[in-house]
């Protein structure tokens, strides 16, 4: 049984700098803002680097809210979960956000997405009809791991360009890759946070979407409610509580999910998102305390 003081101890874990290319400040900003909100509920919050997780020893926090994505940090957090620590996002959910896992989960839950194919980065491209449909215009992405460079996602047109892109990923250590059909349309980014009351049967999540300013917008009409339902369904399929992602709205108004990621920077909505993340973390902390009491 935890003592009350121990039950209120929470660690926020920064994302590794190599997993935040160009977003280090924004990533740190949302973690710190969420930590301040959690402190208002009476929790004792410490912010740590992933390399500091090993120093916890036997003094584990009651809750860890973590943006880290590296294998070593996730392994440590997985061990904490087995020892009763509440981790947000859970390790399995973070791993599910890797494309090699997310694609079959999305398919099982019928989340609409562009046609995609996981290929072995060490071999030649398959020459079947399904692959030939993808290659005229496609995106080559790492199947596992997380984005560590700004050009880890590569556009390719034709077999030669796709093979060159696969060779580039292979040179960086990506053994498997995703070939995803290019979907023409407006790019939409979205953010979400699960509701503060995790025990409610159908809680209302916080959700926002926007057009990223670096992409031109044609203004294709679409059902914003459908985007909300699709995005929330994708997050549930992965098990994420704090998440973001990308979708394409086609000229016909079809919504196709491109990627869903664990704990984005929430840069445009930092203060608003921090309120909801803090409320979710506080509720999860209370839930964890009631289980261990």
| Domain chopping of the chain, boundaries | 4-89+269-292, 115-181, 186-262
Cβ proximity of 240 and 157 under 8 Å? no
Is the pLDDT confidence value at 121 over 80? no
- Which pLDDT band, with edges at 50, 70 and 90, does 7 fall under? very low
Residue 27, both tokens: 């990533």
Is the pLDDT confidence value at 202 over 60? no
Stronger pLDDT, 200 or 33, i.e. the higher one: 33
**Averaged pLDDT, 183-212:** 86
Is the pLDDT confidence value at 42 over 60? yes
- Which pLDDT band, with edges at 50, 70 and 90, does 1 fall under? very low
Residue-level pLDDT at 255:
98
In which region does residue 263 sit, left (phi positive, over 0), alpha (psi from -120 to 50) or beta (all else)?
Answer: left
Stronger pLDDT, 35 or 5, i.e. the higher one: 35
DSSP letter for each residue of 225-288? HHHHHHHHHHHHHHT-SEEEEEEEE-TT--EEEEEEEES---GGGHHHHHHHHHHHHHHHHHHH
Please tell me what DSSP assigns to residue 59.
Answer: -
**pTM for this structure?**
0.90
Question: Rounded to whole angstroms, what are the CA distances from 188 to 193, 213, 245, 247?
Answer: 17, 10, 8, 5
Please tell me what DSSP assigns to residue 157.
Answer: -
Q: Distance (Å, rounded) from C-alpha 235 to C-alpha 241?
A: 7
CATH code for the domain defined by 186-262: 3.30.470.20
Mean pLDDT over the full length of the chain: 89
Rg (CA), the chain: 20
Among 161-175, 178-192, 195-209, whose mean pLDDT is lowest?
195-209
Q: Fold for domain 115-181?
A: Dna Ligase; domain 1 (3.30.1490)
| CATH class of domain segment(s) 4-89+269-292 | alpha beta
How much of the chain exceeds pLDDT 70, in percent? 91
Stronger pLDDT, 188 or 200, i.e. the higher one: 188
What does the pLDDT look like over 68-85, one tens digit per residue? 999 999 999 999 999 999
Task: Please measure the distance between the N-terminal and C-terminal CA atoms of the chain and give it in whole angstroms.
Answer: 6
Is the pLDDT confidence value at 3 over 90? no
Establish whether the linkage from the previous residue to 141 is cis, with ω within 30° of 0.
no
Report strand pairing: 255-262 vs 242-249: antiparallel
Q: Distance (Å, rounded) from C-alpha 18 to C-alpha 67?
A: 12
């Amino acid at each position: 049984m935890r003592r009350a003081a121990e039950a209120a101890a929470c660690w926020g874990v920064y994302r590794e700098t190599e997993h935040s290319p160009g977003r280090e400040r924004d990533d740190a900003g949302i973690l710190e803002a969420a930590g301040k909100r959690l402190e208002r509920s009476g929790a004792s919050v410490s912010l740590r680097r992933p390399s500091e997780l090993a120093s916890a020893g036997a003094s584990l926090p009651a809750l860890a809210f973590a943006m880290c994505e590296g294998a070593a940090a996730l392994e440590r957090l997985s061990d904490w979960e087995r020892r009763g620590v509440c981790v947000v996002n859970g390790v399995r959910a973070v791993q599910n956000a890797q494309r090699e896992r997310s694609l079959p989960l999305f398919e099982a839950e019928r989340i609409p997405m562009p046609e995609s194919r996981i290929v072995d980065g060490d071999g030649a491209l398959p020459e079947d009809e399904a692959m030939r449909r993808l290659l005229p215009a496609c995106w080559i992405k790492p199947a596992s791991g997380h984005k560590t460079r700004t050009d880890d996602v590569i556009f390719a047109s034709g077999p030669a360009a796709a093979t060159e892109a696969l060779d580039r990923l292979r040179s960086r250590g990506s053994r498997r890759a995703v070939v995803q059909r290019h979907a023409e349309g407006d790019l939409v980014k979205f953010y979400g946070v699960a509701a503060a009351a995790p025990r409610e049967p159908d809680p209302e999540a916080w959700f926002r979407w926007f057009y990223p300013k670096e992409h031109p917008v044609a203004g294709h009409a679409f059902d914003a409610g459908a985007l909300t339902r699709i995005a929330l369904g994708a997050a549930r399929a992965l098990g994420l509580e704090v998440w973001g992602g990308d979708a394409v709205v086609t000229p016909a108004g079809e919504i196709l999910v491109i990627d869903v990621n664990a704990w984005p920077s929430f840069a445009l909505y930092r203060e608003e998102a921090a309120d909801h993340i803090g409320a979710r973390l506080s509720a999860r902390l209370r839930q964890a305390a009631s289980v261990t009491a």
